[in-house]
Structure 1
Amino acid sequence: MTNEARFKPDFYTRIDWYAMDKNGHIALMENYGWGDIPYSLQKLQEWSERLDDFNEYINEELTPYKPYQNKNGGFELDIYGSVMYSHKNPGGKPYKIFSRDEVIRRLLETYSRNQKNSPLSLAARKGIFTYRGVEGYKEGDDTPVGFDGEFKMGDYYRFLRPTEYLRISELPAPLRKYVCISKNIDFNKDRLIESQYIDSYFPETYLEK
C-alpha cells in the first residue's frame, strides 16, 4: 500500500479504530467520516475487515473470543458534539444544544436499556476512552461543547473518560496488532487530538514483546 492509496476521510465513511496511549490505556476513536486514520494501521493487510472483528468483540456481538470482563467502573463526560446532542428544527439544523445534564441523562437512559452495547458501556463496563471526530456537512457545522481551544473538522475530541482502565493484555491476542500506539499521547490529559497529525501521534501498531 502506498501513501497515495491511503484512506481519504469523507462524509459517508465512518470508521471506528482503536488506540493505546503512553500509559497503556485504550481508546475507541470514532472518526465520524472526517477523522483521519493512522497510516500505520492502513499498512496492515485487511485492516478494515479486522476492525469489523474488533468492533464485534467490543460490542459483545457474535464473536469467537471470550466474553468481556465487567470493569464495574464509572465515567466522566468531557466534550460532546453539538450536531449529535441538540434539538432539531423542521429544517434539520440544530437550534438548541443540550445541556451537560441532559446529555448525561440521555446516556444513562440508553445504558439502562442496553448495558452491553451503548456509549456508557465502553467507559463504565469496559474501561475504554471514547474520542469522536468533529463532523458535519462542512467546516463549522459541529462544535465540541466543553472545549475552548481551536479545532478543525475531523479532529478527535475526548467524549467519555472511564474510571477503571482496559489494558492491552486483556484484549484477545489476534486483535492487539490492530491497536495504534502512541509514545506521547496521554488520554487522561489530551482532550483534543488533531487529525492532520494522526500519523505522527500514532506511528506504529502494537506488536507483542
Structure 2
Amino acid sequence: MSCPNTSTHSHPPAFLLVGIPELQEAQFWITFPFCIMYVIAVLGNVIVLFIIYIEPSLHEPMYLFLAMLAVTDLVLSTSTLPKMLNIFWLGSREIRFHACLTQMFFVHAFSSVESGVLMAMALDRYVAICCPLRYSSILSVPVIVTIESLVLACGVLLVSPFSLLVSRLPFCQHCLISHSVVKLVCGDVRVSVIYGLFVAFMVVGID
C-alpha cells in the first residue's frame, strides 16, 4: 500500500497502521480474545452504570466515583479497540491524521482522568475510615460533582497542549506507524517530549 503524498513540512492526510509486527498471519485469530474482552468491558460497565442510576441507595460518593471510573473505562476501550478490530479483521489500515490525533487525545486524557478518579476513590475511603461521623458532610454530592469535574478538566487541559504540539510538527514522507506518531516527525520534538514527561509527572507524581 502506498503512502499518501505529503510535503516535508506538513502532516500527511493519513497514516498507515502496521499492526503487530511479524504476526500478520495470526492477527485475524489474535483479535478474537480482544473482541471478547471489549464486549465484556462494554456490557460490564453499562450494567454498572445502569444499576447505579436506577438504585437510589447507590447515589453515594463511592458509587458515583465508581460510575465515573466505568465511563472512563468505556471511553478508553472504545477509543482504541474498534479501530484495532477494523485493522485486523477488515484490513482497513488507514487512519486519517485528525482521527489519529483525536484517538491519541482520548487515550492520554482519559488515562489521566482514570488516575484522578482512583485518587478520588482513595480520598473517599480515607474520609470514610478516619472521619466516619463527618463523612456525609465532607463528601456531599455537590463536592463529589466538583471533584469529578476537576478531575475531568485536569485531564483535558493537561493533554490538549500535547495534541496541539503534535499537530504543528512537520512530518516526513514515511507514514507507516508501528508504535508512535512522534517517531515520524522530521523536526525537533524536544518540546513535545519535555511536555509529555511533565504531564506524566503531574499525573503519576501528584496523584
Larger radius of gyration: 2
Task: Looking at secondary structure, tell me which structure has more helix per residue.
Answer: 2
Question: Same fold judged by TM-score > 0.5?
Answer: no
Q: Name the TM-score, length of structure 2 as normaliser.
A: 0.22
